[in-house]
Amino acid sequence: MNDVIPQELGRARFSRRGFLAGSGTALGAAAAGLPALTAAPAAAAIGNGATVPALVIGTGYGGAVAALRLAQAGVPVEMIEMGMSWTTPGSDGKIFAKVTSPDQRAYWLRTKSKAPVSNFFGFPIDSTITKYTGVLDAEEFAGITVYQGRGVGGGSLVNGGMAVTPKQSRFSSILPSVDAAEMYTTYYPRANAALGVGSIDPAWFETAECYKYSRVGRKHAQRSGFAWTFVPDTYDWNYMKAEQAGTVTRSALDGQVMYGNDHGKKSLVQTYLASALATGRVNVSALHRVTSVTPAAGGGYTVTIEQINTSGDVVATKTVTAAKVFFAAGSVGTSKLLVKLKATGALPALNNETGKGWGENGNVMCGRANHMWDSTGTLQSTIPCSGIDNWDAGGAFAEVAPLPTGIETYASLYLSITNTTRRAEFTWNAAANKVDLSWQTAWKQDSIAMAKTIFDKINSKEGTIYRTDLFGAYKVWQDGLTYHPLGGAVLNKATDNYGRLPGYPGLYVIDGALIGGNTTVNPFVTITALAERNIDKIIATDI
């Protein structure tokens, strides 16, 4: 798996040159320090005035499932994606930046990086970057920064690929109106297969230098009596082995993950989206952002789309008509659109659940300072492979995360998912012409208390302490962010039990906005499986 970009994607529809040339922004690329790109046929971005049977807003998990299954059912699909198509290397020969050296490719329209681990030995490490339509958005609301993928492939471009199916016994707390048996016999298996989920070779794990940090995490967890478990992933585990052996170009072992992976990770570009394009019925318009959806006079919906350049400037505004529109802009993107469209009169009949039930999967991070004899390694795979499950007793599931600095840190880092009941609401702020989110930073105290059920005990057992230098000076907990936004258009509340928006036949929500704030584990397998379930029903009854 040397080339993770399928020919079809590299050649035609996903050519970044095509989209840049189409939007007249080749100069913008040069100004951003990117090289002239090799010739490739331009993809046809959606035309002003087009009439289409199905339009999908966003190319993340929900959008990719919808596009593939609609296309397989014979329906031509236009996908609209505000981010770029990431297929062409920059001047350093890499498509994506490393976590230790973010540049303009790393962040969505920011002039300074905003790393989740913001400090090292107490010193701030964020750096100045060129404003560019980079792959990771650190979207700031009053009480929380929400990290999201931007680009063709959505969150699959930037995530750790941890592909976790929740325990069935916990499913009713995640999606109470959904038949669990059907999910676990049909839709979770379908999602796992299509995503290419695999597991680390347990024998190789025992000796791999790049997973020393996980073995230290296991030892500490087990000595304190916690259940420790391997976590499946969409990374190609054979490629990972070859990276460790030094026989292929390194990606996970070269500090690539949250600003994208050049190799090894099976993002949606290699899985669902590749299959969708192979049908010949799917077209993707990158650097296109949907701003409005409203009923059209002659039936269907009028969709307003802004085409942007790599500086984020609007270079064209297009209006198209779609018979069916699928909101797959992610929990935040979909919620913001729906709340705005309801408040401003474009979709006034959306119900009062719109914008409600938003949660952050209880994300909190912390680090522990190990003793000198528990080094975690100078070579760390960016792809986590294990977690500590204390959900039933303490309400926390913690992934053993890497700290891939290239030097020995003696640190163990963890991202905890916790059983918080806090939920926030998106509301329209007419004065500021934007959508606000009511999340409060103080609510994270609940999550911290749950995470402490694991780490206080481990520290006590090991005679160790929390790191206080990673998230600010003397700050133990990273309590200002989430990687896992969920909810805002919750299933069976803001929509019917299959994502249909009441009052608007032909409008659907099909992404993480449907799930009310928590999945007990990392969320994308559940988002994908739910999308598979819903699109099955929609194709059977509405198409």
> Residue numbers of the site for ligand FAE (CB under 6 A)?
57-62, 80-83, 147-150, 154-155, 158-162, 258, 289-290, 328-331, 333, 337, 483-484, 511-512, 522-524, 527
Runs of H (alpha helix) within 390-493: 391-394, 444-462
Instruction: Decide whether 132 or 462 has the Cβ nearer to ligand FAE.
Output: 132
> Measured between alpha carbons, how far is 237 from 350 in angstroms, rounded to an integer?
45
Instruction: Decide whether 415 or 464 has the Cβ nearer to ligand FAE.
Output: 415
> Measured between alpha carbons, how far is 172 from 63 in angstroms, rounded to an integer?
24
> Measured between alpha carbons, how far is 284 from 276 in angstroms, rounded to an integer?
10
Burial zone of 231 (CB within 10 Å; 0-12 exposed, 13-18 middle, 19+ buried): buried
User: Crossing angle, helix 188-195 and helix 524-542, to 10 degrees?
Assistant: 110
Residue 510 DSSP class: -
> Measured between alpha carbons, how far is 55 from 297 in angstroms, rounded to an integer?
18
Tokens 């990290």, residue? 147
- Collapse the DSSP code of 316 into the 3-class scheme (helix H, G, I; strand E, B; otherwise coil) and give the result: strand
Instruction: Decide whether 224 or 391 has the Cβ nearer to ligand FAE.
Output: 391
Tokens 């920064």, residue? 145
User: Is there a catalytic annotation at residue 8?
Assistant: no
Instruction: Decide whether 258 or 476 has the Cβ nearer to ligand FAE.
Output: 258
Instruction: Decide whether 107 or 464 has the Cβ nearer to ligand FAE.
Output: 107
For the chain, the farthest-separated pair of C-alpha atoms sits apart, in whole angstroms, at 72
Tokens 């909190």, residue? 364
Instruction: Choose, from 243, 399, 425, 532, the residue flagged as catalytic.
Output: 399
Q: What are phi and psi of 455, to 5 degrees?
A: -85, -25
Instruction: Decide whether 18 or 488 has the Cβ nearer to ligand FAE.
Output: 488
CB of 328 to ligand FAE, least distance (A): 6
Instruction: Choose, from 288, 360, 484, 532, the residue flagged as catalytic.
Output: 484
- Distant-in-sequence contacts of 72-77, Cβ < 8 A, 24+ apart: 72/279, 73/539, 73/543, 74/281, 75/281, 75/543, 76/52, 76/281, 76/282, 76/283, 77/52, 77/53, 77/276, 77/281, 77/282, 77/283
CB of 36 to ligand FAE, least distance (A): 26
Tokens of 1: 């798996």
CB of 524 to ligand FAE, least distance (A): 4
User: Is there a catalytic annotation at residue 399?
Assistant: yes
CB of 191 to ligand FAE, least distance (A): 11
- Collapse the DSSP code of 354 into the 3-class scheme (helix H, G, I; strand E, B; otherwise coil) and give the result: coil
Instruction: Decide whether 462 or 531 has the Cβ nearer to ligand FAE.
Output: 531
Residue 82 DSSP class: S
CB of 39 to ligand FAE, least distance (A): 26
Instruction: Decide whether 37 or 273 has the Cβ nearer to ligand FAE.
Output: 273
CB of 475 to ligand FAE, least distance (A): 20
DSSP secondary structure letters along 271-300 = THHHHHHHTT-EEEESSEEEEEEEE-TTSS
CB of 176 to ligand FAE, least distance (A): 19
Tokens of 512: 């993480």
Instruction: Decide whether 152 or 221 has the Cβ nearer to ligand FAE.
Output: 152
CB contact at 8 A, 403 and 210: no
CB of 481 to ligand FAE, least distance (A): 9
> Measured between alpha carbons, how far is 363 from 502 in angstroms, rounded to an integer?
32
> Measured between alpha carbons, how far is 229 from 171 in angstroms, rounded to an integer?
19
The residue type found at 48 is N
Tokens of 389: 């499950």
CB of 201 to ligand FAE, least distance (A): 19
Q: Is 407 left (phi over 0), alpha (psi -120 to 50) or beta?
A: beta
Instruction: Decide whether 15 or 148 has the Cβ nearer to ligand FAE.
Output: 148
Looking only at the bridges linking them, the beta strands covering 136-140 and 123-124 are unpaired
CB of 38 to ligand FAE, least distance (A): 25
Q: Starting at the edge strand that comes first in sequence, how are the strands of the sheet with 136-140 ordered?
A: 136-140, 145-149, 481-482
Active centre residues (catalytic): 399, 484
